[in-house]
A and B are shown apart, each in its own frame.
Chain A
Amino acid sequence: MSKVWAWGALIFGVVYFMLPLIGMTEFSLSMRRGVYSFDAYAAVLADPQFQATFAYSVVMALATIIFGILLVVPTAYWVRLKMPEARPYVEFITLLPLVIPAIVVVFGYIRLYNTSSWLPLTGSVMGTNILLMFGYAMLSLPYMYRSIDTGLRTIDIATLTEAAMSLGAGWVTILARVILPNVLASVLSGAFLTFAIVIGEFTIAALLDRPAFGPYMQILGANRAYEPAALAVIAFGITWACMGLIGLVSRFSRYTQVKR
């Protein structure tokens, strides 16, 4: 009897998740009347707006990832090495972006960094890009910190640091040549999550009026019929590719780990 319920729950779950996806994919393929075709996809991919906004978001994602690594790896390392008692507080801070809505953050940004403030970041395009990158870095902080911190847990950072120090290495050498390469797998999985977040982010980009992929999806969705569905499938594919890469990287990393 219980088996029937379990199967029932599973089937319900699958239907609940898969049906809209199937419907959306089916709709995205039916731009041409009567036959399935990739016309909608061709239209989306050929749209210069799509190419521009997607390229912009990819560049922003890469910048965010680099900034995130430079911020989080030394911080998580230092907290683990020298201030283990501060870990709960740092963890709490890194979780805050999950409970503070992006809209609140972006209003705060605009208020703090507007053209009449002491740091008028919104006054120039470059400044706004930088502000947007900071916003993205903040949104991805919970994932980035968590994955890097987990990576640091798997290696004996205290002894490795001392070994490197006794060989004459300074802090920069230790971080770049010993710590970072050993947590690379977790850094990459954090990076892919960041990539997925940045590609789909709407609120901050829209309110800072930057031509990112998220606002483009919204505009397209408001004005076209078939293309938004195709775009959604594409975005979905990108996210899944990121997930697949995380899995691939974590499997690859198992071969480089020390047996204990």
Chain B
Amino acid sequence: MAFLEIENLQKTFGDLRVVRDFNLNVEQGEFISFLGPSGCGKTTTLRMVAGFETPTAGSIRIGGKDVVNVKPNQRNIGMVFQSYALFPNLTVAQNVTFGLKVAGRDKATIDTRLKEMLTMIGLPDLGERYPFQLSGGQQQRVALARALAPAPQVLLLDEPLSALDAQIRVSLRSEIRAIQQKLGITTVYVTHDQEEALSMSDRIVVMHRGIADQIGTPVEIYNHPATRFVANFVGTLNQIEATVADPERGVVEVAGQSLALERKLSHPKGASVALAFRPQALHMGKGEGEIPVRGRISEVQFLGAVIRLKVDVGEASISLDAFNRAGAELPVTGSELTLSIAPSDILVLGD
């Protein structure tokens, strides 16, 4: 039995169905990310776990106990907010020990725990500061320590890094992950940043219009997206429309060119499918055992280490990444070229 079980969870605001039929089992100590665009219901789902929203239907069980009717302050859940939400009138130490004081722990326990927490977040000397005297990154670390101090069963993070600078965001995300692994705390992390989700999580839930489109490890999500939405949302993806010419041999037609995918297709002859592939799967020139595709360069973006090209293949525009090598000449806009891709790198998306 999983530690956190969410079953058939639904939430409607008036006529708006924000979360519809959401199912998820989270194991003890697992780090799960809810990834999706704004309005996909990820925050609402998190808030239902925290108890700030009441589900319209469905159940949420933590450690085998149904918590839907348990008040938020009785759930023993730690929460970190995008806006830090530190109490401005309290010092760092008072913020961190707030939960312990509410729980009525004795002073010795509180002091030990405070030291432990401040050391863990790497701010052992800032206990006497007020939140307004701290930087954003420091404030969010204090918020994390505050949430973890009462030793909650589950840690919930609602876009905790969105308000921070890019640099701090990257360093803090590995810090959060390290603390989570050290404490072995079951964690649910809401984000719209795919890089964050991919780099931190044990498993990712990609949410779209109130349902979980795909639940899987970061590698599964990136390499084998289950739906067109997941494929599009996670990473950059090229999609071109194709018509099935021979399902047995796996031949499809794209803008007058026949491409052999070297595998059987379940779609009937004449059906239209979408071929999807990552920009880094394509390369210029011909390769052994690879599918050649002809096109015309419509745009060249020089990004430093990488050169990103936009290439028109018939009606469709695809992009590809080439590494920048000193001495190599930049491709010229408008010129014709041949691209190659391994058949196994092409995903055929039905709908």
Contact = CB atoms under 8 A, between A and B. Distances in A.
Contact of B79 (A163, A169, A257, A258): A163
A177 B101 CA distance: 11
> Which of B71, B89, B102, B131 has the most chain A CB atoms closer than 10 A to its own CB?
B89
A236 to B, nearest CB: 35
A168 B103 CA distance: 7
Nearest to A174: B73
A259 B132 contact: yes
B99 to A, nearest CB: 4
B52 A162 contact: yes
Interface string B67-102: 000011111111101010111110000000011001
Interface of A: 155-156, 159-160, 162-170, 173, 177-178, 181-182, 184, 256-259
Contacts of A258: 86, 88, 131-132
A163 B150 CA distance: 13
B87 to A, nearest CB: 6
A166 B85 CA distance: 12
Given A156-B83, A256-B130, A166 B50 contact: yes
Tier of interface size on chain B: 20 to 34
B146 interface: yes
Interface of B: 50-52, 71-79, 81, 83, 85-89, 98-99, 102-103, 130-132, 143, 146-147, 150, 156
B81 A256 contact: no
Contacts of B150: 167-168
Contacts of A166: 50, 72-73, 75, 77-79, 147, 156
Contacts of B77: 166
A164 to B, nearest CB: 7
29 contacts: A159-B83, A159-B85, A160-B85, A160-B87, A162-B50, A162-B52, A162-B72, A162-B79, A162-B85, A163-B79, A163-B86, A163-B143, A164-B87, A165-B51, A165-B73, A166-B75, A166-B156, A167-B78, A167-B99, A167-B150, A168-B99, A169-B98, A177-B98, A178-B87, A178-B89, A256-B88, A256-B132, A257-B88, A259-B132
Contacts of A184: 89
A54 to B, nearest CB: 34
A89 B83 CA distance: 30
Given A256-B89, A257-B88, A258-B131, A169 B102 contact: yes
Given A162-B79, A170-B73, A182 B88 contact: yes
Nearest to B149: A167
Contacts of B72: 162, 165-166
Contacts of B98: 164, 167, 169, 177
A168 B147 CA distance: 11
A259 B133 CA distance: 9
A155 B50 contact: no
Contact of B73 (A156, A159, A169, A256): A169
A184 to B, nearest CB: 8
A20 B150 CA distance: 64
B332 to A, nearest CB: 49
A211 B130 CA distance: 47
A197 B112 CA distance: 50
A50 to B, nearest CB: 40
